[in-house]
Amino acid sequence: MIDEYLFNILVKGKKQTSYKFYIFKAILKFISLGKFDVSFFELGCMMIAVSYFDMDIYVNNKTEHDKLLLMKSELITDCNYYGNVNEELIFKDLLDIKNKDFIKAVKSLVAYAPYLILSYGQWDAYLEGLITWQKNKKIEELSNRFSDDVLYSIKDKNLHLNKIFVKELEKDLNYYNDEIDKYIRNYFN
């Protein structure tokens, strides 16, 4: 169930940016931390944290639309990251940043991505003809109506992870992280 779900989103979705990979890596990190209700801001901060070490490797292969990989220089400046750091420390520090431009950039990073991931190929008939903000509202509604069938539902800019999917992912978080890492390597090469 989860393998097919992830495959459909990671492979069939648009390939303009890296956000979808890092949303999944962030969700896997939250699951490993036992956190199943996540604000959009927390999601954005975790996406940056879990992509931090990949940024050096893939920075030359990003697209002009890839906001996630453009944020590292700001992160280094605001948090003074030059030595060894880990994802948990980066996440914690990001939550505490007071730089308004950085907060705005994080919010922009996750303004549409969580909605887009849920909509890949499954609710096209419901979304046809709607403009972006209308689509987001409709996707939020659909994610709650069909909450048993999606990885997460959205309500008031918060993700609520589906417990059925969480249990399946918890069985082998390393496997799913490795699979997403493969997609990331393929995406940037």
- CA 74 from chain centre, in angstroms, equals 19
Q: Cα(175)–Cα(91) distance, rounded to whole angstroms?
A: 22
Domain hosting residue 28, numbered range: 2-188
Q: CA-based Rg of the chain, rounded to a whole angstrom?
A: 16
Scanning the chain, the segments in alpha helix (DSSP H) are 2-12, 19-32, 40-58, 67-70, 72-79, 87-96, 100-109, 113-119, 124-127, 132-145, 163-170, 173-188
At 75, phi and psi to the nearest 5?
-65, -45
Torsion sign, CA atoms 168, 109, 118, 145: positive
pLDDT in 10s for each residue of the chain, 189 residues = 556 666 666 665 555 567 778 888 999 999 999 999 999 999 999 998 888 877 766 655 555 556 666 676 666 666 666 666 788 888 998 898 888 888 888 888 898 889 888 887 778 889 999 998 899 999 999 999 998 888 899 999 999 999 998 998 899 899 888 888 887 877 776
Domain count, the chain: 1
At 99, phi and psi to the nearest 5?
-65, 115
